[in-house]
Amino acid sequence: MGAYFVTATGTDIGKTFVSACLLRHWRAAGLTPDAFKPLVSGIDPDDPTGSDPAALIDAMGLELTAESLDRVSPWRFAAPLAPNMAARKEGRLVPYSAMLSACRRRIADAAGPLLIEGVGGVMAPVDDGRTVLDWMAELGLPAILVAGTYLGTISHILTAVEVVRARQQHVAALVLSETPGGTVPPADTVAALRPFLGDALPILHLPRLPAGCYTHMAVTELASVLSS
């Protein structure tokens, strides 16, 4: 079991929920998973409760402390904007080289499966000249692509897969994280995608789960895909 980069077709799609589900599944299987979301924006510096880093920390069975927060998400910005824009509001810059070095150290030190989670979507800016895709290409990890089930998601998915593959990056799995109020049946979305994506790319549908529930057969299947 290696390291994977969790990305998405856009923001607020479900990256962190998918990551949290995998982390809990791996822990239940007796593994020691780790998660690293080095860049976070839109986080309250005085109360990170309920944030993405807090969800990842909880999924790893850890307490939310200053130390665990720094370990999972060392570069945090308050404004709910792309990292470069959020950093600029605080008179800061995104330390791209230092972030890459930190990611590489985590990959080298991983004692179990590792998830490195990006920000926003595949083409979201990270600093003023690079996107999440550039970050992914630098690390060269297999990608877990998370998408919604809303009307229009097919175009967003095909665009994301196209640009990722154009950079010679491997998409290990596509996870359809069910969009609240979505009007398109996920099975119809999968059927529409198949002629374009082929049969080799695993596509899994993760429905909305009750609050506090992270267990579903799609998570088990995703973990199996990643271990094969």
Segment holding 8, helix H or strand E: strand 3-8
Q: What is the CA radius of gyration of the chain?
A: 17
Q: What angle do CA 180, 184, 190 make, to 5 degrees?
A: 110
Residue numbers belonging to the annotated binding site for Mg(2+): 16, 52, 117
Residue numbers belonging to the annotated binding site: 12-17, 41, 52, 117-120, 177-178
- How far is residue 91's CA from residue 168's CA, in Å, rounded to a whole number? 35
Q: Can 89 be counted among the known catalytic residues?
A: no
Residue numbers belonging to the annotated binding site for ATP: 12-17, 52, 117-120, 177-178
- The tokens for 100 are 């890459």
**C-alpha dihedral sign at 61, 66, 71, 75:** positive
Q: Which among 25, 37, 106, 156 is annotated as catalytic?
A: 37
Active site residues: 37
